[in-house]
């Protein structure tokens, strides 16, 4: 498990600066103006900070970027991290500057000199988000637990109170990233469910539905995906009841712990990436952790379908026809279009059991969304402008890329089957949209719903603004904000 760095807020103590033995971070305005804490560092280093602020290197930094001055003379610190940031930054710049500091953070303790900067809590969140290092499977040179952060600023109690919820959300993001980064031989369906059971300690009601229960419910499309694997298929239901007696908001996640493609086997090159095919379920899990930790005053239910898509003697064959819990029959043309089969049953179950006020599903659903939107934005498909716009606004506020894509009955003809109610693939054209159309068949009339195709953003090969390469935790912050803005009184 990767634990976020601890952050403590304290009043500024100028005399503590020279003797701090770890790293020190300080902010310099774009104009080059030094505040009181920066002036103290400048005096200790005999003018080095001023020379830096007047340099081309500083001029070339964008607001929110940072530069590291190593082993400064006149101080005991190992480094001074200088971030370019104005005293009243935008939320986005504050988070970015925090992230730049978090990236530069070593295992040393870090003293942040905020002076009377605004948005200290957002800066702290940025530091914590970026200071993520997945080491669960590294042996040998055991790194010591990284040192914590002391954030000195003018109103430490206020900043600390504001940071509490923001840092709870970071805990949720780290949970998502750890799940998404975990290799499939470690994160089996059983291990995934076990980790979710732990959320009970935070007050989440967790139920694990096993294969016999899924069979009794008629979840044949979900079970058809997992039947080639020795790992048992499961649906985990997580309820956070922080609201009154109103119906919950529902989150549904695709949790394919590994996607070989099944009998429609994927090519070898890059198949190892399919360990992240449970990314949607990972985000749902991270949001449940975040809302529980910050004791959100809302009712939220998270449901994840956990399966492994493997070839084998019991695996589903191309051409098989299965009946969904809803009752519709599906001709499985391609066993690699498995995510929609999992979601179909879990979406239906979520609506039948909880009658939610709204529902959002997340899935690493199609390679086609990566062709369309790359790794910057997730695809958003919705039948409801209000919910969709609220989500897009939340994503924008959290700098998590999202872009609305169309749904239209005109695409339904691509899903027509000769022998069943529908087939599970619609051909190459508009592959992400036909996947969305397929899911919509399992969404009841008048149910506000969004489908988020996160195949391009859940795990990426290059670092992003708030995460090193690998799992990003994309969506945890946006969904947490959506819940706070739309469903909390």
Binding site for Mn ion (CB under 5 A): 259, 336, 338
Residue 196 Cα distances to 4, 154, 207, 251, 329, angstroms: 19, 39, 9, 15, 31
β-sheet bridge partners, residue 9: 151
CB of 471 to ligand BES, least distance (A): 12
CB 338 within 8 A of CB 436: no
DSSP helix/strand/coil, 173: helix
Identify which of residues 86 and 338 has a Cβ nearer to ligand BES in the complex.
Answer: 338
DSSP helix/strand/coil, 48: helix
CB of 427 to ligand BES, least distance (A): 8
For residues 264 and 302, give the distance between their C-alpha atoms in angstroms, rounded to a whole number.
30
Decide if 340 is catalytic. Answer: yes
417 binds ligand BES (CB under 6 A): no
CB of 364 to Mn ion, least distance (A): 9
Identify which of residues 86 and 308 has a Cβ nearer to Zn ion in the complex.
Answer: 308
Decide if 51 is catalytic. Answer: no
Q: Which residues contact 227 (CB under 8 A, 6 or more apart)?
A: 233, 314, 315, 316
75 binds ligand BES (CB under 6 A): no
345 binds Zn ion (CB under 5 A): no
Locate 265 and state its tokens: 């086997």
Q: Which of 259, 308, 331, 400 is the binder for Zn ion (CB under 5 A)?
A: 259
Locate 413 and state its tokens: 């003809």
331 binds Zn ion (CB under 5 A): no
Identify which of residues 63 and 403 has a Cβ nearer to ligand BES in the complex.
Answer: 403
> Which part of the chain contacts ligand BES (CB under 6 A), choosing from 2-10, 61-69, 109-117, 335-343?
335-343
Q: Which of 248, 339, 401, 473 is the binder for ligand BES (CB under 6 A)?
A: 339
CB of 434 to Mn ion, least distance (A): 14
455 binds ligand BES (CB under 6 A): yes
Determine the length of the chain.
489
305 binds ligand BES (CB under 6 A): no
β-sheet with 23-28: strand ranges across: 7-10, 149-153, 110-115, 23-28, 79-84, 66-70
Q: Return the one option of Mn ion, Zn ion, ligand BES, none that residue 431 interacts with (CB less than 5 to 8 A, by type).
A: ligand BES
331 binds ligand BES (CB under 6 A): no
CB of 241 to ligand BES, least distance (A): 32
Judged by CB under 6 A, the number of residues near ligand BES is 15
* Buried residues in 396-414 as b, exposed as e (16+ CB within 10 A): eebbbbbebbebeeebbeb
221 binds ligand BES (CB under 6 A): no
* Buried residues in 264-292 as b, exposed as e (16+ CB within 10 A): beeeeeeeeebbbbbbbbbbbbbbbbbbb
Identify which of residues 123 and 343 has a Cβ nearer to Zn ion in the complex.
Answer: 343
Q: Which of 17, 112, 425, 482 is the binder for ligand BES (CB under 6 A)?
A: 425
Residue 28 Cα distances to 40, 110, 115, 255, angstroms: 13, 17, 11, 44
Catalytic residue among 326, 340, 377, 441: 340
3-state DSSP percent of the chain in helix, strand and coil, to 5: 40, 20, 40
Q: Which of 277, 331, 345, 400 is the binder for Zn ion (CB under 5 A)?
A: 277
Place of tokens 């990314």: 279
Q: What is the DSSP letter of 297?
A: S
- Mark out the alpha helices in 73-219 (DSSP H runs): 91-104, 120-130, 156-181, 189-197, 211-217
Catalytic residue among 155, 266, 404, 486: 266
- Mark out the alpha helices in 245-384 (DSSP H runs): 279-293, 339-354, 368-373
Identify which of residues 93 and 338 has a Cβ nearer to Zn ion in the complex.
Answer: 338
Judged by CB under 5 A, the number of residues near Zn ion is 4
Q: For residues 353-412, which are near ligand BES according to CB under 6 A? A: 364-368
Identify which of residues 92 and 338 has a Cβ nearer to Mn ion in the complex.
Answer: 338
Identify which of residues 5 and 263 has a Cβ nearer to Mn ion in the complex.
Answer: 263
Identify which of residues 168 and 366 has a Cβ nearer to Zn ion in the complex.
Answer: 366
> Which part of the chain contacts Zn ion (CB under 5 A), choosing from 255-263, 265-273, 324-332, 409-417?
255-263
CB of 366 to Zn ion, least distance (A): 9
Q: Report the candidate in 127, 85, 88 with the shortest Cα–Cα distance to residue 106.
A: 127
324 binds ligand BES (CB under 6 A): no
Q: Report the candidate in 432, 231, 208 with the shortest Cα–Cα distance to residue 304.
A: 208
Q: Which of 50, 171, 178, 259 is the binder for ligand BES (CB under 6 A)?
A: 259
CB 85 within 8 A of CB 94: yes
Q: By the criterion CB under 5 A, which residues form the site for Zn ion?
A: 256, 259, 277, 339
Which of the residues are catalytic?
266, 340
Q: By the criterion CB under 6 A, which residues form the site for ligand BES?
A: 259, 277, 334, 336-339, 364-368, 425, 431, 455
């Amino acid at each position: 498990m990767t634990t976020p760095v601890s952050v403590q807020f304290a009043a500024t103590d100028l005399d503590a600066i020279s003797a701090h033995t770890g790293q020190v971070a300080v902010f310099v305005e774009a104009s080059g103006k030094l505040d009181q804490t920066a002036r103290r560092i400048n005096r200790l280093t005999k003018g080095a900070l001023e020379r830096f602020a007047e340099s081309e290197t500083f001029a070339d930094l964008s607001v929110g970027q940072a530069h590291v001055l190593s082993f400064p003379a006149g101080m005991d610190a190992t480094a001074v991290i200088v971030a370019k940031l104005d005293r009243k930054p935008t939320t986005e710049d504050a988070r970015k500057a925090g992230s730049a500091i978090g990236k530069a953070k070593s295992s040393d303790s870090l003293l942040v000199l905020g002076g009377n900067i605004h948005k200290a809590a957002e800066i702290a969140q940025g530091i914590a988000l970026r200071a993520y290092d997945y080491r669960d499977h590294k042996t040998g040179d055991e790194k010591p637990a990284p040192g914590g952060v002391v954030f000195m600023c003018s109103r430490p109690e206020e900043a600390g109170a504001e940071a509490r919820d923001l840092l709870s959300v970071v805990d949720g993001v780290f949970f998502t990233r750890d799940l998404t980064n975990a290799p499939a031989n470690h994160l089996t369906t059983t291990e995934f469910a076990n980790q979710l059971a732990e959320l009970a300690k935070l007050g989440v009601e967790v139920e694990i539905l096993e294969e016999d229960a899924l069979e009794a419910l008629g979840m044949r499309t979900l079970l058809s995906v997992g039947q080639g694997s020795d790992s048992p298929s499961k649906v985990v239901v997580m309820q956070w009841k922080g609201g009154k007696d109103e119906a919950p908001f529902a989150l549904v996640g695709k949790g394919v712990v590994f996607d070989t493609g099944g009998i429609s086997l994927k090519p070898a090159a890059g198949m190892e990436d399919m360990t992240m095919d449970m990314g949607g379920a990972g985000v749902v899990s991270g949001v449940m952790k975040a809302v529980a930790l910050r004791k959100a005053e809302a009712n939220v239910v998270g449901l994840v379908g956990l399966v492994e898509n493997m070839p084998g003697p019991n695996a589903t064959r191309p051409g098989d026809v299965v009946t969904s819990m809803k009752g519709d029959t599906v001709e499985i043309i391609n066993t690699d279009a498995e995510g929609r089969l999992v979601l179909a049953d879990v979406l239906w179950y979520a609506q039948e059991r909880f009658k939610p006020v709204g529902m959002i599903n997340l899935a690493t659903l199609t390679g086609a969304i990566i062709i369309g939107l790359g790794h910057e934005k997730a695809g958003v498909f919705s039948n409801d402008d209000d919910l969709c716009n609220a989500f897009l606004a939340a994503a924008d506020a959290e700098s998590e890329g999202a872009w609305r894509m169309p749904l239209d009955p005109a695409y339904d003809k691509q899903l027509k089957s000769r022998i069943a109610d529908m087939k599970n693939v619609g051909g190459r054209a508009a592959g992400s949209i036909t996947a969305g159309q397929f899911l919509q068949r399992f969404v009841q009339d008048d149910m506000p719903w969004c489908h988020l195709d996160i195949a391009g953003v859940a795990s990426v090969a290059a670092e992003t603004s708030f995460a090193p390469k690998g799992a990003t935790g994309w969506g945890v912050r946006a969904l947490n904000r959506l819940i706070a803005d739309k469903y909390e009184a």
